[in-house]
């Protein structure tokens, strides 16, 4: 039999548990530093020294954080006959778990600033937001999962060669890493769903639902936007469709993965030489990082 005082104490304790304040696990400030590091390497164009150094940096950081790191290295011969050395990194947490989530981002950056609004298409894209932000987000999630290991399996996939070619003229030379991963999935990596993150650090962040995500995995879109709303981020994750994009999530959808794209495509500096560090913020990374972390924790 419990003494009344103890009963009261237990009631208070369980009430505390139910109303405990949201613990912020993800650090937007640390993630912002991961963008700075990438930009400092220079444009991460496949075959360049900056790309090689950024790849070595990722490899080193992920080995310190994940339970297992799988690297997928191969040579892609482009439409024009160039050979590109490409590498995907798959940082696996709880690799034996059957219940899993997959988060992905591309880590290469674009060789040409060829947006219709670009003032100089001979220059490469610095990729602070395009590529840099998704990588920073995934590294921030890796920090979270290292600190407090997940009860479910999580795979963080860094794909290469997303942004190399022309999306209409040379479709074989874009989305290269996601296509490679789709054809070479590690055994036991089947996930409940997958979320692609790109262009998510814009200072003026507004993330609309993406058209091909709504066609291919509408229930995942609903889950992610609802999770954001529960965190108080309905103003950033706007529950309406806007753009429809050809992106890495489509290569995963083709092999049956429930993949969606979380992307703020209203970014005036997209594919220009002005996609630089002053256009992105840790506060924006914080919002998307909180959502990504909550997606993991809600499945535990």
Tell me whether residue 163 or residue 202 sits nearer to Zn ion (CB atom). Answer: 163
Q: Shortest approach of Zn ion to residue 127 CB, angstroms?
A: 8
173 binds Zn ion (CB under 5 A): no
274 binds Zn ion (CB under 5 A): no
Binding segment (CB under 5 A) for Zn ion, from list 80-88, 114-122, 158-166, 252-260: 158-166
Tell me whether residue 95 or residue 165 sits nearer to Zn ion (CB atom). Answer: 165
Ramachandran category for residue 199: left, alpha or beta (phi over 0 → left; psi -120 to 50 → alpha):
left
108 binds Zn ion (CB under 5 A): no
Tell me whether residue 130 or residue 143 sits nearer to Zn ion (CB atom). Answer: 130
261 binds Zn ion (CB under 5 A): no
Contact 72, 158 (CB under 8 A): no
Tokens of residue 194, six digits: 């997958």
Closest CA to 263 of 209, 193, 194, 204: 209
Q: Shortest approach of Zn ion to residue 258 CB, angstroms?
A: 23
Binding segment (CB under 5 A) for Zn ion, from list 78-86, 161-169, 180-188, 220-228: 161-169
251 binds Zn ion (CB under 5 A): no
202 binds Zn ion (CB under 5 A): no
* Cα 5 to Cα 10: distance, rounded to the nearest angstrom: 9
Applying CB under 5 A, which of residues 25, 108, 130, 275 lies at the interface with Zn ion? 130
Per the listing, tokens 């789709």 go with: 182
Tell me the site size for Zn ion, rule CB under 5 A.
Answer: 2
275 binds Zn ion (CB under 5 A): no
Contact 257, 194 (CB under 8 A): yes
* Cα 178 to Cα 93: distance, rounded to the nearest angstrom: 20
Instruction: Provide the CA 216 distance to its chain's centre, in angstroms.
Output: 18
* Cα 121 to Cα 149: distance, rounded to the nearest angstrom: 44
Per the listing, tokens 């892609």 go with: 76
163 binds Zn ion (CB under 5 A): yes
Q: Which residues bind Zn ion (CB under 5 A)?
A: 130, 163
């Amino acid at each position: 039999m419990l003494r009344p005082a103890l009963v009261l104490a237990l009631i208070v304790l369980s009430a505390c548990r139910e109303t405990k304040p949201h613990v912020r696990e993800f650090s937007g400030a640390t993630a912002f530093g991961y963008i700075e590091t990438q930009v400092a390497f220079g444009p991460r164009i496949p075959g360049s020294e900056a790309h090689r150094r950024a790849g070595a940096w990722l490899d080193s950081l992920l080995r310190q954080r994940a339970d297992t790191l799988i690297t997928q290295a191969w040579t892609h011969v482009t439409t024009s006959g160039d050979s590109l050395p490409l590498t995907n990194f798959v940082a696996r947490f709880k690799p034996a778990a059957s219940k899993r989530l997959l988060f992905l981002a591309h880590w290469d950056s674009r060789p040409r600033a060829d947006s219709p609004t670009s003032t100089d298409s001979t220059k490469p894209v610095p990729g602070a937001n395009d590529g840099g932000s998704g990588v920073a987000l995934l590294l921030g999630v890796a920090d979270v999962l290292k600190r407090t290991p997940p009860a479910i399996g999580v795979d963080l996939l860094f794909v290469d060669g997303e942004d190399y070619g022309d999306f209409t003229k040379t479709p074989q030379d874009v989305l290269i890493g996601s296509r490679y991963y789709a054809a070479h999935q590690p055994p036991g990596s089947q996930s409940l769903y997958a979320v692609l993150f790109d262009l998510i650090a814009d200072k003026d962040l507004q993330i609309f639902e993406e058209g091909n995500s709504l066609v291919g995995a509408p229930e995942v879109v609903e889950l992610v936007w609802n999770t954001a709303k529960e965190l108080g981020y309905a103003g950033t994750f706007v529950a309406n469709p806007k753009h429809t994009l050809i992106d890495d999530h489509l290569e995963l959808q083709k092999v049956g993965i429930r993949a969606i794209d979380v992307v703020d495509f209203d970014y005036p500096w997209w594919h220009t030489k002005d996609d630089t560090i002053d256009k992105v913020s840790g506060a924006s990374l914080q919002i998307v990082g909180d959502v990504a972390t909550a997606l993991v924790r809600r499945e535990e």
